[in-house]
Amino acid sequence: MIGASSIRKEGRAKVMGTACYTDDKFVPDALHGVTVRSQVPRGILKGIQFGEGIPWGEFTIVTAADIPGTNRVASVVHDQPFLVGIGEEITHPEQPVVLLAHPDRRLAEKARKAVTLEVEERPAILDIQASLDLEQVIYGTHNLLKEIRIQKGDPEAVWASAAHVIEGEYHTGAQEQMYLETNAMVAVVEQEAAGLRVTVWGSLQCPYYVHGALKQLFGLPEGQVRVVAMEMGGAFGGKEDYPSVNAGHAALLAWKSGRPVKVVYDREEDLACTTKRHPSRTRLKTAFDAEGHLLALDVDFVLDGGAYATMSPVVLSRGALHSASVYRCPNVKVHARAVATNTPPPGAFRGFGAPQSLFAMERHMDVCARKMGLDAVELRRKNFLRMGDTMATGQVIREDLDLGGLMDRALEEIDYHRKRTTFAAANDSQNPIKRGVGLAVFMHGCGFTGGGESYLASVAGVEGLADGTVSILAASTEMGQGKNTVFAQIVAEALKLPFDMVETAEVDTDRVPNSGPTVASRSTMMVGRILEDAAISFKQALVQQGFLKEPYTADGFREAVAKAVATLGSVKCYGQYHRPPNIAWNDATYQGDAYPTYSWACYAAEVAVDLDTYEVKVEDFVAVQEVGRVVNPTLAAGQIEGGVAQGIGWGLWEEVTMKQGRMINNQMTNYIIPTSADLPQIRVVFLENPHPAGPGGAKGLGELPMDGPAPALINALENALGPLRLDEVPMTPDRLLGRYEEVTHG
Ligand code: MTE
Ligand code: MOS
């Protein structure tokens, strides 16, 4: 089963239109909930006015004063209110203040506009520099949401004697996940003998995050909250933490009205108000010896974390841990900060933090190569991590890592050396089309960072059903990445059963254990491994209790399960995460094994730039990666193609335009993402190297493809155009024109 391109489990329902997304859920008597937001970046809420012409008596109205439990969203830090109360501080312009519900969706929308807020405005902080400069103190004492330091050796001792010291500053912009389905929730709150019972159905990645947030919001015990994940039209990290907010809102309205409530954002609200990729600024200082060996690296990595901490601590951590990329370096200092601004808080987006710091380092390597008069490919080769080397945290590479071989495969696929020569000759002509090739080499840590997996202590299981088939019990959600299919393949392989005999149970917290959040590309490697163990225990239990004899056939297994269920009522086996041997992490010092292992990759891009329009066309793209064993080649290639498309969009076109802390191009017509017409054929190559900690040898791969495209593209742009200040993404035509004019007009 592992290695087969099994057909996507939920594919048929999606194609036939029978898959039930949250807004498809028919809920009789439901009200439609809408959110009144703050409008100003910073101020004190003084009053709320309900305007003329709206039958307010028909509405359910919720403000902060109504909240029965704690008015804080349970997250890494409990700093964000569900609703801002009168007398409290507004800290960004999309902050929820009042919730309204009415049976008529359009009237609810109209009423939202009839509410006015009296706000005493305060000066706001709108960008990283203003926050660092403490122009206003808006969060804690220093506007710091999180700060991390990593130190290895002493870079300060190297600068003076090094042959080359090269500095650079790189910027990356915000990015919208642009899942097809916008954020949506349905809530029902019942008054039971045991107290309130809150149930939420929604588009969400992490049912147990939402579960925890609802418990705290209503002050309820474990058993009184239920969260069900509906079919999801994509997430990309955008439904990691925000669903705790809108689920809370829907549940508050349901509780106050005594009726079911649907809260479904339209695209404009979703774009303006929900989380995005963190904007970043990275300053790098590197020292090399005369041959180009990296001697020292100083990283100053800053993320714009918006008004509340949300996922910033983990995004910052992953960014800091990937900031040295794939290079051996004896002296490294990393100073990473997430700073507060009066903007809607960003959150997780595919790669969270790694694409930002890797863009800086992989772009910087090309800049350094040019400045030292070395070839960018050979400079990388000279410095690649190999078995036995240590990373910045002291993590020792224990696998037989061959990044040179990986890179050579990408160079060969894209015909790098020949293109470098022929393009250089052609670019000298009067033709306004200039061509270039570039690459990036990078890695992505598998699973939660540091001690995260031990802390989560995830549980997942398998259950026998009355008809003799097997059901997977896990809170991991399907967002298009293929978890339903991959989990079934892993369990079917462990039990030696056909794929069709294994299905995934509905992700309902009343039914499935907490297998952790569906983030950090952890499902296949981390949860898959637990399921593999659970499946083997399940089979052993059937044998020990006399229901099953080995060897068995699929029919024999089916009969054994049916008999066991008929006899015992239910047959379930659970597995739990076990830290692999030889892995240690110290969260206080940031020393040790940041991840059990990494997936490794080299991406190469060919671009054509039109110097009449400054339009950049991606003509060819090669993605070579080592992700352990590939469980499902078709789905895996789809993950890479999709991630590369998002990476190309982030690198060239996707620009979040902000004004006074608000996104003003919050429509699909003016926030430009690539379509298939804008993309080349993305050529995907997997080099397999099974890893002992993953199920069947598999590692994580979902986010890896987001890391490489932007630096590969910008390096290719420099190859096409010569040394411009190409230090930022997205490199839109306007920005590129500006950079070009800097050199042509002085
Ligand atoms: N692929 C699709 N089609 N839709 C998604 O929402 N999310 C990405 C990635 N691939 C996503 C996707 C993100 S952000 C993550 S963390 C991983 O899938 C999560 O799934 P995994 O753990 O199964 O890799
Ligand atoms: Mo993915 S950004 O970890 O949901």
Best residue among 444, 453, 519 to mutate for probing ligand 2, ranked by most atoms within 8 Å of CB = 519
237 lines ligand 2 (CB under 6 A): yes
Centroid of ligand 1 to alpha carbon of 413 (angstroms): 27
Res. 745: pLDDT tops 80: no
Q: Are 661 and 93 in contact (CB under 8 A)?
A: yes
**CB of 238 shorter than 6 A to ligand 2:** no
Pairing label, strands 682-686, 615-626: parallel
What six digits make up the tokens of 577?
A: 């995460």
Closest atom of ligand 2 to CA, residue 702:
1
Nearest ligand (C-alpha, residue 277): 2
d(CA 649, CA 731): 10
642 CB under 6 A from ligand 1?
yes
Q: What is the mean pLDDT of residues 92-106?
A: 98
Position 579 scores a pLDDT of 87
Output the CA 600–ligand 1 centroid distance in Å. 17
Closest to 440 (Cα-Cα) out of 213, 275, 605 = 605
The finding on whether 216 has its CB within 6 A of some atom of ligand 1 is no
What's the CA gap between 24 and 300, in Å, rounded?
47
Place of tokens 């690539």: 674
- Cα(120) to ligand 2 centroid in Å equals 37
As a three-state string, the secondary structure of 374-436 is: CCHHHHHHHHECCCCCECCCCCECCCCCCHHHHHHHHHHHHCHHHHHHHHHHHHCCCCCEEEE
What is the per-residue pLDDT for 582?
83
pLDDT score recorded for residue 617: 98
Closest C-alpha to 229, from 199, 255, 257: 199
What is the reported pLDDT for 190? 97
Separation of alpha carbons 492 and 510, rounded Å: 25
Mean pLDDT across 687-700:
95
- Nearest of 239, 309, 247, 246 to residue 275 by alpha carbon: 239
3 state SS of 439: strand
Residue that has been written with the tokens 């094994």 in this structure = 593
Instruction: Tell me the per-residue pLDDT of 628-681, one tens digit each, with 9 for 90 and over.
Output: 999 999 999 999 999 999 999 999 999 999 999 999 999 999 999 999 999 999
The per-residue pLDDT for range 574-590, each reduced to its tens digit, is 999 988 888 899 999 99
Give, using CA atoms, the residue closest to atom 3 of ligand 1.
480
Cis before 517? omega within 30: no
Are the C-beta atoms of residues 490 and 590 closer than 8 Å to each other?
Answer: no
Task: Examine the pLDDT at 333 and tell me if it is beyond 80.
Answer: yes
Contacts of 546 (CB under 8 A, 6+ apart): none
β-bridge mates for residue 586, sequence order: 591
Name the more confident of 255 and 429. Answer: 255
Q: How many residues does the chain have?
A: 746
Q: What's the pLDDT tens digit per position in 125-147?
A: 999 999 999 999 999 999 999 99
Among 232, 352, 595, 704, residue to substitute to test ligand 2 (most atoms within 8 Å of Cβ): 352
Q: 194 pLDDT exceeds 90?
A: no
pTM: 0.98
Checking phi first, is residue 236 left (phi over 0); if not, alpha (psi -120 to 50) or beta? left
Q: Is the CB of 521 under 6 A from ligand 1?
A: yes
Closest residue to atom 12 of ligand 1, CA basis:
481
Q: Region 489-517: what's the mean pLDDT?
A: 98
Are 45 and 84 in contact, with CB atoms under 8 Å apart? yes
In this structure, what token pair is assigned to residue 259?
């009726």
Whether the CB of 639 sits within 6 Å of ligand 1: yes
Return the residue matching tokens 């050979």: 378
Kindly identify the ligand whose nearest atom is closest to the C-alpha of 645. Answer: 1
Is residue 699 in contact with ligand 1, taking CB distance under 6 Å? Answer: no
Question: For residues 605 and 681, is the Cβ–Cβ distance under 8 A?
Answer: no
Instruction: Return the percentage of the chain with pLDDT > 90, whole number.
Output: 97
Q: Which two tokens stand for residue 380?
A: 């990388």
How far, in Å, from the CA of 737 to the mean position of ligand 1? 35
- The single residue listed with the structure tokens 């990476």 is 647
Residues 299-314, mean pLDDT to the nearest whole number: 98
Helix H or strand E segment including 319: helix 312-321
Residue at token pair 């309820």: 220
Element housing 242 (H / E): helix 242-257
Q: Quickly state the pLDDT bin for 746 (edges 50, 70, 90).
A: low
Q: Which atom of ligand 1 is nearest to the CA of 527?
A: 22
Which pLDDT score is estimated for 581?
Answer: 81
Q: What are the chain's domains?
A: 22-122+178-273 (3.30.365.10), 280-449+590-744 (3.30.365.10), 452-576 (3.30.365.10)
Residue type, 446: C
DSSP state string for 513-550: -----S-TT-IIIIIHHHHHHHHHHHHHHHHHTTS--S
Over the stretch 151-176, which tens digit does the pLDDT of each residue have?
999 999 999 999 999 999 999 999 99
Question: Does the Cβ of 242 fall within 6 Å of ligand 2?
Answer: no
CA dihedral 343, 349, 352, 357 (to 10 degrees): -80
Encode pLDDT of 345-390 as tens digits. Answer: 999 999 999 999 999 999 999 999 999 999 999 999 999 999 999 9
Tokens of 5: 């391109």
Give the CB-side neighbour count of residue 198, counting CA atoms within 13 A: 29
Instruction: Tell me the angle at which helices 709-721 and 633-652 cross, rounded to the nearest 10 degrees.
Output: 50
Report CA(238)–ligand 2 centroid distance (Å).
8
Substitution candidate for ligand 1 out of 209, 314, 481 with most atoms within 8 A of CB: 481
Which of 539, 543, 132 has the alpha carbon at shortest distance from 300? 132
What pLDDT, on a 0 to 100 scale, did the predictor assign at position 161? 97
Instruction: Please work out whether the CB of residue 481 comes within 6 Å of at least one atom of ligand 1.
Output: yes
CA distance 472 to 736: 50
Cβ–ligand 2 distance for 352 under 6 Å, the answer yes
Which atom from ligand 2 is nearest to the alpha carbon of 350? 2
What tens digit of pLDDT does each residue of 585-643 get? Answer: 999 999 999 999 999 999 999 999 999 999 999 999 999 999 999 999 999 999 999 99
Please tell me if the CB atom of residue 515 comes closer than 6 angstroms to any atom of ligand 1.
no
Please give the DSSP secondary-structure letter assigned to residue 463: E
Indicate which residue's Cα is closest to atom 23 of ligand 1.
523
User: Does the structure show a pLDDT above 80 at 561?
Assistant: yes
Between the CA of 742 and the centroid of ligand 2 the distance, in Å, is: 37
What is the rounded average pLDDT of the residues 177-184? 98
**338, 305 Cβ separation under 8 angstroms:** yes
The burial of 698, by beta-carbon neighbours within 10 Å (0-12 exposed, 13-18 middle, 19 or more buried), is given as buried
In angstroms, the Cα distances linking 72 to 93, 217, 451, 576, 620 are: 18, 7, 25, 30, 48
**448: Cβ below 6 Å to ligand 2?**
no
User: Which amino acid, 250?
Assistant: A
Is the Cβ atom of 350 under 6 angstroms away from ligand 1?
yes
Tokens of residue 235, six digits: 């997430």
Three-state DSSP at 331 gives strand
pLDDT over threshold 90, residue 451? no
* CB of 483 shorter than 6 A to ligand 1: yes
Q: Whose CA is nearest to atom 4 of ligand 2?
A: 237
Our answer on whether the CB atom of 232 is closer than 6 Å to any ligand 1 atom is no
Coil, helix or strand at residue 281: strand
Q: Is the CB of 179 under 6 A from ligand 2?
A: no
Q: Give residue 236's pLDDT.
A: 98
Q: Tell me: the pLDDT tens digits for 232-264? A: 999 999 999 999 999 999 999 999 999 999 999
